[in-house]
Chains A and B, each alone.
Chain A
Amino acid sequence: MRRWLSFLGRWLVIFLVASVLIFGLVRLMPVSPVDRWLSAFNLPYTEENVAYVTRRMGLDRPLIVQYADWILNFLKGDWGYSLKSHLDIRQQFLAKLPYSISIGIAGIVISAFAAFFIGYRAAVRRGGICDRVSAALSVLTQSVPSFIVSIVLIYFFGVRLKLVRFFTGNGAYAMTAAILITALYAVGPLSRVVRKAFREEMRSSYVRFSVSRGFSPDQVLFFHASNPVICRLISTVMAEFATVFGGSSVLEFAFGIPGISTFLVTSMKNSDYNVLESYILVVIIWMFFVHLLLNLALQMIDVRRREA
């Protein structure tokens, strides 16, 4: 219980620090959204125009009032309106989040599953196909950026073969491709983690003991030594989620997926900092749930292991 309380407390502090930080950063930026707005529509840069737009955006109030207003409203579910489009930001996020979250979750789930089996195989058959492929994959995916892979993929399947409509239709192909590339990029390193964890278990006394009693070595490893490996995998995945969230923005960009990262990039080109501020808070809330769920999972595995 105490552990969970301190977990919650820590996240609360992280959330508050992040909110102050992003609020402050945004106010420090050199180009105000007012100027940006005026220039975007070829409007004269006169004092009246600046004053009018500033007033309309609510930027003429004291900073502390703006902050308190913003954070309280955020918690109440009112995330304000985009400075540019005057659309409700929360609704926009709710419409765009499913894309980004499915890429993240599906990509990680697939890669974790695949990594578990590949890593197991690689541990058992050293120098075998799985071992070599996973090693090569982890080096390759680290050295070739994912956007290159996306462009080649789109060119080959979309432009050359005209097999797949990535951009029109319901977007299922673009999503599938983005998920698979995310998975491809995570599976290499994850399967190396799994392999290493299995190798450590192999040396443990209980595995040696079971094998010496005549159980099949492969089965002993797969069924009895897998819990600590899964724990290791989950902790690694927890850290991986932060990377996936950043990485997905490049993929959304290349495949034209209207997820929240694409939304962020277009908003930032307009200095639409209302969107930017909500984005950071959404990322933190999302990471909070990832950590919460995975920690719960870890604890469950742990309890099961202790009961066994």
Chain B
Amino acid sequence: MSRRQKVMIALFTVFVLFLLFAPRQSILKTDVLHTYEGPSRAHLLGTDNLGRDVWSLLLAGGARTLEVVFLAGGISFFAGTTLGMIAAFQGKAVRGIIQLAADFTLVVPSFIMAMVFSALFGFSPAGAGVIFGIGNMGQYVNQAYDLSEGLKSREFIDAERVVGLGKWRLLFFHVLPNIYRQLLVFLGNRAAGVVVQYAGLAFIGLGTDITNPDWGTLLYQYRAYLTTDPALVLYPTAAIAVLVLFFHFMFDSTGGREEAETIYD
């Protein structure tokens, strides 16, 4: 891990803790006498159309977004990787089924599934997280499968097979440690996508509750004030951008490293 990555991860951890634990006011608190106020000591980022504290709303939205990202990332990472490894080390039938399932999640747009799901069962970060997690699983399955296939021919895996290690032990203690790094890079890329997709989902607003705001919901509400109070649009946009950029740079494999020279350079 490069120094730069370590710094990014530390910063990201601080950011997450900040979103979760920074001091905030009640997001229920309204005050129709003090609407559209600028930043002040009482309201760090001012107030919105109902006199709610924008700072607290952003923090609350951040916590919900993190819930979605961690849930989605966790599901697709663990389930996808496990299935991909199993596919590589199991018979043809199992592999066929797993790959079909992976294809399925790749073909059906997960954003649309999430939309359908929230229309049918109501909108919640948990629901969205699970759907995005399953929807992105296919890519992890394929990646994990390719990487594990690559390992299969390596001698140490063969040796362990001869020694007679249990299948699960083989997968989790010998295959996984060799492939998880590449998959983490992928996780970072996908997590950024999940943040934006979730914002879009909340923006379309099927079944959303404005008293439990997401960044996308805030944008949906505040976009009407783009001209009169652009700051209200700017804050959630910036919050989304910062979180995405964190994911982007934290796991970016090429960022710091120099590319190989070619005859063209």
Asked if A and B form a direct contact in the complex, defined as CB atoms under 8 angstroms apart, the reply is: yes
Q: Tell whether B95 is near chain A: CB-to-CB under 8 Å.
A: no
Check A30 against B262 for contact (C-beta < 8 Å): no
CA distance A225 to B112 in the complex (A): 37
A145 at the interface (CB under 8 A from B): yes
- Stretch of A37-45, A48-56, A162-170, A241-249 on the interface side: A241-249
Across the interface, which residues of B come within 8 angstroms of A152, CB to CB?
226
A132: interface (CB < 8 Å): no
Kindly state the separation between the CA atoms of A279 and B112 in the bound complex, as whole angstroms.
10
Shortest distance between the CB of A84 and any CB in chain B (Å): 14
Identify the stretch in A12-20, A59-67, A70-78, A300-308 within 8 Å (CB) of chain B at 4 or more residues.
A12-20
**What distance in Å separates the Cβ of B161 from its nearest Cβ neighbour in chain A?**
29
Query: CB-defined interface of B221-233 with A at 8 Å, one 1/0 digit per residue?
Result: 0010011000001
| Chain A, Cβ-Cβ closest to B122 | A30
In terms of DSSP, what is the predominant structure of the interface of chain B? helix
| Residues on A with beta carbons closer than 8 Å to the beta carbon of B112 | 245-246, 249, 264, 279-280, 283
Min distance, Cβ A34 to any Cβ of chain B, angstroms? 15
Interface 0/1 of A178-215, CB less than 8 Å to B: 00000000000000000000010011000110010000
Q: Assess the A245–B196 pair: CB atoms within 8 A.
A: no
> Top 3 closest A-B pairs, CB basis?
A246-B111, A268-B119, A29-B120
Could you give 20 example pairs across A and B, Cβ below 8 Å?
A18-B108, A25-B116, A25-B117, A26-B120, A28-B120, A28-B121, A30-B120, A123-B264, A139-B245, A142-B192, A142-B244, A142-B248, A145-B199, A147-B200, A152-B226, A202-B262, A202-B263, A217-B263, A269-B206, A280-B112
Q: Which residues of B contact A (CB under 8 A)?
A: 100, 103-104, 106-112, 115-117, 119-122, 192-193, 196-197, 199-200, 203-204, 206, 216, 219, 223, 226-227, 233, 237, 240-241, 244-245, 248, 259-260, 262-265
